[in-house]
Structure 1
Amino acid sequence: MAKQPMLKFVSVKRDMPVKREAEERSHDFDEIYAEFADQKAKEQAGRCSQCGVPYCQSHCPLHNNIPDWLKLTAEGRLQEAYEISQATNTFPEICGRICPQDRLCEGNCVIEQSGHGTVTIGAVEKYITDSAWERGWVKAIAPHEQRTESVGIIGAGPGGLAAADVLRRAGVQVTIYDRYDRSGGLLTYGIPGFKLEKDVVMRRNAQLEEGGVSFVMNCNVGEDITFAELREKHDAIIVATGVYKSRDLQGPGSGASGIVKAIDFLTASNRAMNFGDSVPEFESGELNAKGKRVVVIGGGDTAMDCVRTSIRQGAESVKCLYRRDRANMPGSQREVQNAEEEGVVFEWLTAPKGFKGDPVSAVVVQKMRLGAPDATGRQSPELIDGSDYDEPADLVIKALGFEPEELPKLWDEDGLEVTRWGTVKAEFTSGRTALPGVYAVGDIVRGASLVVWAIRDGRDCAQAVLDDLAGAGAMAAE
């Protein structure tokens, strides 16, 4: 009788892929986790308890069939595991690397809550799809038939790319328009290589292009082509621009040179350090942390990307100011630990009051304490009078989150309705807007959110577009 490969969480302890030592990894932009070996992947997948009601699956935005592909991995049926994994997820190797599993699937693992340590879902997911690429199981997009309908997608980030994949597999003609010179959006220019190596993203971009998706790069809608022209050209439009407008800082001295936006800093670093592009602002030192005392303001994942990037660029020191404590920060606790190992110092319960010097020479910091909970249930930070001090700084990076651009104004389209937050008003799950044939997905609808939610939105919207195109075709036939 074959030995049972599952339910080993009692006898086998949780184990992660080997993490490179901080001293080694802090000098390069390579990913910090090694790949699971085949036997180790089987062993860790075999820890799954095969729950009747799998919370890991229900807490995954894509509702990935996690217990199924864990079981197949444990049984050595890796190609079948890949097929199950990619059936619900357009980019499983990307989600396996950058999803905050500690807040989603792994954070809701039943065996974790019973004291046995969660299954390492993300690492196994990454291993499955990386193996699929290596062994030639990832096939080019090849529609059974070509359709005449055309869909234009504005934005080549994860939401737009996920929608393009679904539509192209159905034979629809797809064109993606993007302001940058490479597709991928924040996957390409926002997330550092030590979390997501760029060849992983470029490989997916190439797969889409080889499958017939057309890319129009360096194209700024509203300037190089009008929104009205795009609507005239295509049967449907999907708005997937993301949110790139940085929240700003106020206070004395906030306009000084040396105070920069996180997105500008990360984009320059990715271009220069990961792609080898010539970036004048990086080469001049304006967007380069080398030899500088760096202060990053914010507590989300973007702030974690900035502090860890600064370390790799050779900063003299790196400090992160966050107005709440460690337990209340929005960023991944795993990322905080990685940053601390690499030499980042976190100053909890602190906020900037102003800045000295131009170029900046110090941040005026005020200490905080946590008071009564606010409407969300989180304790609100309160100022401690007389606690101000100066934190020396040569480079200050603002990582306070992102807001949507004013698309109706930029695109001269008043009919594109937005919420009071500036996000596009769109129907839940389908992405339909008030404009006929216009849809919206991802952060431009949700506000700044996770890559996995953008993928979910893109897939759902693409299916709605297919349904609507089929309905329009049926009406025309009548």
Structure 2
Amino acid sequence: MATQRMLKFVSTSREMPEKRMPDLRARDFDEIYREFADAKAAEQSGRCSQCGVPYCQSHCPLHNNIPDWLRMTAEGRLEEAYAISQATNTFPEICGRICPQDRLCEGNCVIEQSGHGTVTIGAIEKYITDTAWERGWVKPGTPIAERTESVGIIGAGPGGLAAADMLRRQGVQVTVYDRYDRAGGLLTYGIPGFKLEKHVVMRRVAQLEEAGVQFVLNCNVGTDISFDAIRGQHDAVLIATGVYKARDLTGDGIGAGGIVPALAYLTASNKKSFGDEVEAHDNGHLDAAGKRVVVIGGGDTAMDCVRTAIRQGATSVKCLYRRDRANMPGSKRETQNAEEEGVEFVWLTAPKGFTGDEHVEGVIVQKMRLGPPDASGRQSPEVMEGADYVEPADLVITALGFEPEDLPTHWSAPDLSTTRWGTVKADFRTHATTIPGVYAVGDIVRGASLVVWAIRDGREAATAILDYLSAPAQVAAE
């Protein structure tokens, strides 16, 4: 019976969940994809070839057991599908929404390679866990027995929360410190609601609180509390701060008003989605309404900015990227969604400077062409001399990526070693830093990366911390 329900990729076409029409979805910040119905989820799961070497699984950073939970879904055994899904992933409903499946699991699907169209893995993963929440299968990780050891986690993003969940399930006392007024990190304030509605994140935070995780919010380590004080209060510490420092943009006129970093813009928008008062948004500084908007960058953050600007009522939204569509680092799916909603992409362009005195009036744009490959293998953009022009703009959003803050200096922790890029040095297996009992995960180690990698790091670090807490030397020290 199981075999009859699977291997239907030849007779059944690939389908994504229905998308809301662009003119409707561009008016709000609700998610754009509708939920699969039971029958459609089972049908699409049944397209899986159940191949002997599942490349979808091996190319997933968490190595999720994708073929098995697809088979369970095809057979209508959803609670078992959820159990398999959550066994390797702390937040499957979040990964199902925001992972770049086209570059990971779905992009390596065997039937995709054979020309039949990939299984819609991400949408089914989202459906499984959303169903689990609706039916009460998702339980807080309340431990069977409590332990006396405590762990302090600095940063309430996906890496920190994943580690907190695993540690708490084992009875460890966990306290999470975060600079923002809500937990979740970029899941809360960096990713717009049309990709990840905020109640999805908040219910996970509430679940962790119910399990006994303590949150200390509005707490800037190095200012409100010292790093040494956190170390003194806990048996082990995990650094999961992420990277928030925007990369600098150079050029004439860069200091003009109306040129803003992507994270400040997205954070203000997301705070408004919570109903908060945000002065910089309310006074128009971080609001695109009625403005000609230019976003500089080609990654997923740039896609978040252009689609947010559309929803805020911008008169026009253009995205400048120095390479072409084929070499764009952002999700192709997100680029398509943005174009459907009215964003114009101006390929092979880069900013040279800005016009306007006190406030930006335009971007001086250089036209580019692709030259020989660089060290990464991608073709390097070269300036086309004499082809500059001015793109009118009332609001310019820079989305050029993020860099780590100088934690050793800010935290007065000279023993915390960093790389030449400023990221924290940590063992790639245990995530241990150069300070005994201190671990680090996610973007502060990797540089700006994916949420799914932060979740993997957090889970691995939790296992290493448990080993450290249980080591004879640690017990003797206590």
- Asked whether the two chains share a fold, i.e. TM above 0.5, the reply is yes
Q: Distance in 1 between matches of 2:329 and 2:453?
A: 16
Q: Distance in 1 between matches of 2:167 and 2:263?
A: 30
Whether contact under 8 Å (2:2, 2:75) holds in the other structure is no
Identity %: 76
1:284 aligns with 2:283: yes
- Matched residue of 2:115: which SS? coil
Partner of 2:327: 328
Structure 1 residue 429, shift from structure 2 partner: 2.3
Q: Distance in 2 between matches of 1:265 and 1:207?
A: 29
Q: Distance in 2 between matches of 1:436 and 1:2?
A: 50
- Matched residue of 1:176: which SS? strand
Structural mapping, 1:30-45, within 5 Å: 30-45=30-45
Taking a change above 3 Å as real, the CA distance of residues 81 and 160 of structure 1, as seen in their structure-2 partners, is same
Whether contact under 8 Å (2:160, 2:240) holds in the other structure is yes
Q: Distance in 1 between matches of 2:158 and 2:437?
A: 21
Structure 1 residue 135, shift from structure 2 partner: 0.1
Q: Deviations over 1:166-198 (max 9, x none)?
A: 000000000000000000000000000000000
Partner of 2:219: 219
Structural mapping, 1:40-119, within 5 Å: 40-119=40-119
341-350 or 137-146, larger mean C-alpha shift: 137-146
Whether contact under 8 Å (2:418, 2:425) holds in the other structure is yes
Structure 1 residue 141, shift from structure 2 partner: 1.6
AA of the residue aligned to 2:282: E
Q: Distance in 2 between matches of 1:208 and 1:379?
A: 45
1:254 aligns with 2:254: yes
Whether contact under 8 Å (2:296, 2:319) holds in the other structure is yes
- Matched residue of 1:364: which SS? strand
AA of the residue aligned to 2:323: R
AA of the residue aligned to 1:176: V
Q: Unaligned stretches of 5+ in structure 2?
A: none
- Matched residue of 1:282: which SS? helix
Q: Distance in 1 between matches of 2:113 and 2:50?
A: 15
Structural mapping, 1:12-411, within 5 Å: 12-272=12-272, 274-357=273-356, 358-411=358-411
Q: Distance in 2 between matches of 1:117 and 1:285?
A: 44
Q: Distance in 2 between matches of 1:428 and 1:385?
A: 45
Structure 1 residue 4, shift from structure 2 partner: 1.1
AA of the residue aligned to 1:325: D
- Matched residue of 2:85: which SS? helix
- Matched residue of 2:471: which SS? helix
Number of aligned positions between the proteins:
477
Q: Distance in 2 between matches of 1:45 and 1:218?
A: 43
Q: Distance in 1 between matches of 2:210 and 2:9?
A: 42
Taking a change above 3 Å as real, the CA distance of residues 149 and 363 of structure 1, as seen in their structure-2 partners, is same
Q: Distance in 2 between matches of 1:221 and 1:58?
A: 37
Q: Distance in 2 between matches of 1:96 and 1:255?
A: 39
Structure 1 residue 430, shift from structure 2 partner: 1.2
Q: Distance in 1 between matches of 2:74 and 2:90?
A: 23
Q: Distance in 2 between matches of 1:211 and 1:448?
A: 30
Q: Distance in 2 between matches of 1:142 and 1:153?
A: 18
Structure 1 vs Structure 2 CA RMSD = 1.1
Q: Unaligned stretches of 5+ in structure 1?
A: none
1:459 aligns with 2:459: yes
- Matched residue of 1:4: which SS? helix
Q: Distance in 1 between matches of 2:416 and 2:375?
A: 30
Q: Distance in 2 between matches of 1:210 and 1:458?
A: 20
Q: Distance in 1 between matches of 2:299 and 2:418?
A: 25
Q: Deviations over 1:57-92 (max 9, x none)?
A: 000000000000000000010000000000000000
AA of the residue aligned to 2:407: L
Give me the TM-score of the superposition, normalised by structure 2. Answer: 0.99
Structure 1 residue 140, shift from structure 2 partner: 1.7
Taking a change above 3 Å as real, the CA distance of residues 2 and 324 of structure 1, as seen in their structure-2 partners, is closer
363-372 or 463-472, larger mean C-alpha shift: 463-472
Give me the TM-score of the superposition, normalised by structure 1. Answer: 0.99
AA of the residue aligned to 2:333: R
